[in-house]
Amino acid sequence: MSEDYSERRKHRRIKLEFEVSLTIKETGKVFKGTTMNLSAGGMSVILDEFIPLGKNLLLSFKVQSGLAFSGISAKVVRSSDIDDRFIYGLEFLNMPKEGMENINSIADVIFFIKKIKLFSIITDEEALFLKNVGTDVDYAEGAIIFNEGADGDAFYAVINGKVRISKKSNIDDTNEEVLALIREGEFFGEMALFDEGLRTANAAAHTSCKLFTITADQFNELIKTNHKLAIKVLLGFIRTLSKRLKSMNQEMVDLLFSEAALNDMK
């Protein structure tokens, strides 16, 4: 493995599948392959034909709408075979700086989405799809995200920072009871995706934070356009809600036993 190829491993790799056209510079012979993963430094490609190590290629491929590449020089730096097919590690030789930045940006998006516990089981391709469904929002410390009694119309996940969930503890709203601090990778407000009720608590930025949000309308559209991904998200909600209920039930049991013990002591 070359030093340059080892160096490219510093770039975050993502597992995306798309078609890539490979042309051998020496002969002009063209192959069609499918990517297995991609980084700003290179890609892994699977195809039926054998290509010797060290061959120089020209690549053309489209990562997603609005991000296509043509005439990218690459070198075959590793190869293996599986089930009569060949897997090649390709090192980019002339990827433009803007292209590298665009690929790194996509990799960062996928990384941040999958940091959210709810989305940890989805694939990189699904994470990219989901990112294009929702929206990133930045909040300064102390900023109001929503107030108790407001219409619930969106779900939020914390990419970084902390969010404070609270209720006013007296009639004149001067005292605040903090119910929870939502940290990186956690989510809140999910019931807004399933009913049109009012918010039952306040949410504010406890620190400056970046949130990923999906509205009820966006989630309904996700169900129509990618029901497999929507089901994974729903299963994530169900698992999390189940854990919360178990925790609440245990707290109630502990409270009942504590009260019973106090009564026995009287």
SS3 of residue 129 by DSSP: helix
The model's pLDDT over 31-40, given as tens digits with 9 standing for 90+, comes to 999 999 999 9
Is residue 192 exposed (0-12), middle (13-18) or buried (19+ Cβ within 10 Å)? buried
Place of tokens 């075979």: 81
pLDDT of residue 5: 43
pLDDT of residue 4: 44
Q: Answer for the pair 230, 223: CB distance below 8 angstroms, yes or no.
A: yes
Q: What dihedral do alpha carbons 221, 227, 229, 233 form, nearest 10°?
A: 80
Position 252 pLDDT exceeds 70: no
Nearest to 164 by CA among 175, 178, 153: 178
pLDDT band at 9 (very low <50, low <70, confident <90, very high): low
Which CATH architecture does the domain made up of 13-103 adopt? Beta Barrel (2.40)
The model's pLDDT over 196-243, given as tens digits with 9 standing for 90+, comes to 789 999 999 999 999 999 999 999 999 999 999 999 998 888 887 777
pLDDT of residue 243: 74
Measured between alpha carbons, how far is residue 140 from residues 55, 163, 211, 255, 263 in Å? 52, 11, 11, 38, 49
Fold of 116-261: Jelly Rolls (2.60.120)
The model's pLDDT over 80-96, given as tens digits with 9 standing for 90+, comes to 998 889 999 999 999 99
Measured at the CA of 185, the angle between CA 183 and CA 189, to 5 degrees, comes to 75
Position 253 pLDDT exceeds 90: no
- Phi/psi class of residue 161: alpha, beta or left (left: φ > 0; alpha: ψ in -120 to 50)? left
* pTM: predicted TM-score of the whole model, two decimal places: 0.78
Contacting residues for 200 by C-beta, under 8 A, at least 6 apart: 148
Where do the structural domains in the chain lie, given as residue ranges? 13-103, 116-261
